[in-house]
Copies of this chain bind each other. A is one copy, B any other.
């Protein structure tokens, strides 16, 4: 059996989550999110976002959250801007287009967008009405390359979006990891301030399943529940999601788990640096993209599972290593030892 560094959803959930589910298991609750755990969890999240007027909704997964937010926000002739590395552009089987909306992709930098990237897209769509109207910008934090947005970067994007009648939407599948990165200067409250809508990923940070969509722009709040139901995203037993987010946010658990995952990644990173390794992307979160020789990769593959990410040249490739709240010290040490050998 290989030890897996393939992703941050290889295990179930943090034990406290299972305990919480057990605790509430036989207490009768109303369905479809009208249970008391969901209510409490929503309150807590709004509090931590310092956004009393926000709306919070729990759904099962990331693709679902993305397609829901985008389809609910756009009229038929409106499109969303993303980097070419954006999850919605590359890894969601056309989920966004299936709701009728084109993604205008632009090559970003380090998996991130800046105002000039967005301006470039807008400039290419001047031949109205033969082109779509851009209405939303999609970003992820941390990105699909493991990088993070700084406060000034996010602020600049938001200001630009506001000036250009664009909604700013952040995919937070790995938001915990971004916020706990050593060089991060953003808070949940900053994100609530400088986006129109974002989501806080639970699946990749300790939950069995679940993402929390936080809508701060009141225009986008209107009628959102209808869309959840229409896209098949409203669980009958909404308490399954509410209970988990309540557990994650009732103290610091959500952040502690992300910190832990980051620390494990950084331990591996230090080891790699120690061996002179260079990286395809410079990351401080729970994703690493070391460039190794094909031979080294082959040797590591005998004991560890990970994704081959990008061919660099004939003899080298970048691999992707991901740690999580469940990555034990033992596994990290195993890997570091194996590195030493190769």
Contact = CB atoms under 8 A, between A and B. Distances in A.
A227 B77 contact: yes
Contact of A133 (B98, B130, B226): B226
Main secondary structure of the interface of A (DSSP, over half): loop
Interface in A3-33: 3-4, 6-7, 9-13, 15, 18, 21-22, 24-32
A132 interface: yes
Contacts of A66: 232
A236 B203 contact: yes
Interface in A203-237: 203-204, 208-209, 223, 225-237
Given A30-B10, A204-B236, A99 B127 contact: no
Nearest to A228: B129
Interface string A77-102: 10100000000001111110111111
Contacts of A204: 236
A231 B98 contact: yes
Interface string A154-188: 00000000000000000000000000000000000
Interface in A99-117: 99-103
A68 interface: yes
Given A12-B240, A31-B10, A129-B225, A232 B95 contact: yes
Contacts of A93: 77, 129-132, 226, 229-230
22 contacts: A9-B237, A10-B28, A12-B26, A18-B25, A60-B209, A61-B236, A68-B232, A72-B75, A77-B230, A79-B94, A91-B131, A93-B229, A93-B230, A94-B101, A95-B229, A97-B97, A97-B101, A97-B102, A102-B102, A130-B229, A204-B236, A209-B240
Interface of A: 1, 3-4, 6-7, 9-13, 15, 18, 21-22, 24-32, 60-68, 71-72, 75-77, 79, 90-95, 97-103, 127-133, 203-204, 208-209, 223, 225-237, 239-240, 326
